[in-house]
Amino acid sequence: MSRQRSGNFPKQISGRVTVTADECGGNNERMIRKFTKKVKKEGIVEESRTRAYYTKPSVERSARRANRLRLIDKVNKDRSELLKPSGKRVSHKTPGRR
């Protein structure tokens, strides 16, 4: 019996990033900076790096879970520091997750 995937298809790469000379007033360095900024925003380089090698779905899930837990810990830490009555930021070690 085969399992069907429910919409978990990889995102398609748009692939079109253009910078014109009129945008940058003919300045070549500004054109390069603008192009690299647009490429980073689109996530083209990051996506090509992730597609270069196969990663098992279980590894992808565990990485997403770890990132989610890291973000939750960061937000909770910031909230607890904001709610301290002394107003000082106190650094303390939090126990690791298992």
What is the predicted pLDDT for the residue at 16?
Answer: 81
Does residue 98 carry a pLDDT above 90?
no
Could you write out the DSSP letters of every residue in 35-84? HHHHHHHHTHHHHHHHHHS---HHHHHHHHHHHHHHHHHHHHHHHHHHT-
Higher pLDDT, 73 or 95: 73
Cα separation of 38 and 18, whole Å? 9
Using alpha carbons, list the distances in angstroms from residue 14 to 8, 38, 44, 83. 18, 12, 9, 44
Does residue 79 carry a pLDDT above 90?
no
Write the pLDDT tens digit of every residue in 14-57.
668 888 888 888 888 988 999 999 899 888 888 888 889 999 99
What is the predicted pLDDT for the residue at 80?
Answer: 81
Mean pLDDT over the full length of the chain: 80
* Cβ burial, residue 34 (10 Å; 0-12/13-18/19+): middle
Instruction: Break the chain into its structural domains and give their ranges.
Output: 15-53, 55-90
What is the predicted pLDDT for the residue at 63?
Answer: 94
